[in-house]
């Protein structure tokens, strides 16, 4: 089983990750991981933090001579903006953020204790871990990519740039939709036998865990609800060269909780960023009086970056399901099992 855990706060000393269950013998390309970390920082509408940090992975364990040795891979990513102990306390929760619910859950009167961990800065660890999983998956020809579909309802970059600029000038924010897809995924990852092993459920959980994601659909998704079965189900064909295949991919590469050999396609809806330059009304957590919500350094829009994070979450989930099916001790053995399918 592939397990991943992250630790660290937005303005703490470092972000830290542990990825356990990787097979021995996998060559780790640090340059590729750092390029993926840089991709996470791109996109029109990103905030000032992206100008401060230059994210780079520092691997702490689980690697010898650039190859995994079967033990947990741990790593850190330094925060240049390390000032958690001198930042002011926060008392005005932001609507749409974890601020108030988190403070009430843990009994905090300083919301800083919540926002430091609830910050999307945590996703830098996911991208590092997901990049390692991409390295594993590409050994078997599996590739994952993302595409920005829309921002604020607009699809052309010119219009997107315009509405982001307008939102910035108004002290507002924007959400959008991105698509993530995985190609060359073998048939039968996941399972129809147990609910918690269904690949679509596991992918949905991973994608929904990304901050600000409010909806996930696979293939035709919500459109399927308004169609006839004869219109939406993918006709099955067979040929000597392809084997079994579908004429269409309305299922998004997933049927009965399993991969069906077609491209896995997921679309995610991201709500607008919760921090607004012109803050919404809120309530002071101590005095209970009406106030304006706090303003923290933030993005105006981060849909492209969320897509990169989505790639990483998909890579982690698919890598886990792949190792579940083909074994996990060492890369040579897994390749032998994979070829014999």
Percentage of the chain surpassing pLDDT 70? 99
Quickly list DSSP for 27-60: BP-HHHHHHHHHHHT-STT--THHHH-----EEE
Report d(CA 159, CA 243) in Å as an integer: 43
In angstroms, rounded to a whole number, what is the distance separating the alpha carbons of residues 269 and 256?
A: 23
Predicted pLDDT at 49: 59
**Helices of type H across 68-184:** 99-106, 112-118, 123-138, 157-170
Tell me what pLDDT residue 297 has: 83
Mean pLDDT, residues 228-257 taken together: 95
The pLDDT tens digits for 54-101 are 899 999 999 999 999 999 999 999 999 899 999 999 999 999 999 999
Q: Is the confidence at residue 20, as pLDDT, over 70?
A: yes
> What is the helix (H) or strand (E) element at residue 232, kind and residue range?
helix 229-232
pLDDT surpasses 90 at 53: no
Q: What is residue 244's predicted lDDT score, i.e. its pLDDT? A: 94
Structure confidence at residue 48 (pLDDT): 66
SS3 315: helix
Q: Quote the strand ranges of the chain, DSSP E.
A: 3-7, 14-20, 58-61, 63-64, 67-68, 73-78, 143-151, 176-183, 213-218, 236-239, 243-246, 254-255, 258-259, 264-270, 281-283, 290-292
| 287-319 tens-digit pLDDT | 999 999 999 988 999 999 999 999 999 999 999
Instruction: Report the distance separating Cα 175 and Cα 270, nearest Å.
Output: 5
Q: Which residue do the tokens 């269950």 mark? A: 21
Alpha carbons 4 and 21: distance in angstroms, whole number:
9
Q: What is the CATH number of domain 3-339?
A: 3.60.150.10
- pLDDT category of residue 51 using cuts at 50, 70 and 90: low
DSSP state of 80: S
Q: What is the pLDDT of residue 340?
A: 86
pLDDT band at 341 (very low <50, low <70, confident <90, very high): confident
Q: For 269, phi and psi rounded to 5 degrees?
A: -100, 125
Question: Given this model, what pLDDT does residue 1 score?
Answer: 86
Using CA atoms, how far apart are residues 225 and 130, in angstroms rounded to an integer? Answer: 32
Does pTM surpass 0.85? yes
Examine the pLDDT at 108 and tell me if it is beyond 90: yes
Per DSSP, the three-state class of 129 is: helix
159 is written with which tokens? Answer: 């219009």
The pLDDT value recorded for residue 198 is 98
Report pLDDT digits (tens) over 128-142: 999 999 999 999 999
Q: Is the pLDDT of residue 190 over 90?
A: yes
């Amino acid at each position: 089983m592939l397990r991943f855990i992250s630790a660290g706060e937005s303005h703490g000393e470092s972000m830290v990750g542990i990825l356990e269950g990787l097979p021995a013998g996998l060559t780790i390309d640090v340059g590729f991981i750092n390029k993926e970390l840089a991709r996470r920082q791109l996109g029109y509408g990103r905030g000032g933090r992206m100008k401060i940090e230059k994210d780079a992975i520092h691997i702490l364990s689980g690697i010898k001579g650039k190859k995994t040795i079967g033990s947990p891979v741990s790593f850190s990513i330094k925060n240049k903006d390390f000032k958690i102990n001198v930042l002011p306390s926060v008392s005005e929760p932001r609507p749409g953020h974890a601020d108030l619910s988190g403070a009430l859950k843990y009994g905090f009167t300083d919301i800083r204790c919540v926002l430091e961990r609830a910050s999307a800065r945590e996703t830098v660890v996911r991208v590092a871990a997901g990049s390692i999983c991409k390295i594993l998956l590409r050994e078997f020809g599996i590739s994952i990519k993302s595409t920005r579909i829309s921002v604020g309802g607009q699809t052309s970059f010119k219009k997107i740039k315009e509405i982001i600029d307008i939102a910035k000038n108004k002290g507002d924010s924007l959400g959008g939709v991105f698509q993530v897809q995985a190609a060359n995924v073998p048939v039968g990852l996941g399972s129809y036998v147990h609910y918690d092993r269904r690949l679509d459920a596991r992918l949905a959980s991973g994608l929904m865990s990304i901050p600000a994601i409010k909806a996930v659909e696979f293939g035709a998704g919500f459109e399927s609800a308004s169609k006839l079965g004869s219109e939406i189900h993918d006709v099955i064909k067979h040929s000597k060269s392809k084997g079994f295949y579908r004429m269409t991919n309305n299922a998004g590469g997933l049927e009965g909780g399993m991969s069906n050999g077609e491209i896995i396609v997921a679309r995610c809806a991201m709500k607008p960023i919760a921090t607004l330059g012109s803050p919404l009304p809120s309530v002071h957590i101590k005095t209970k009086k009406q106030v304006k919500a706090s303003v923290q350094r933030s993005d105006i829009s981060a849909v492209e970056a969320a897509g990169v994070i989505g790639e990483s979450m998909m890579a982690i989930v698919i890598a886990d399901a792949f190792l579940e099916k083909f074994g996990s001790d060492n890369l040579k053995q897994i390749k032998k099992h994979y070829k014999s399918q």
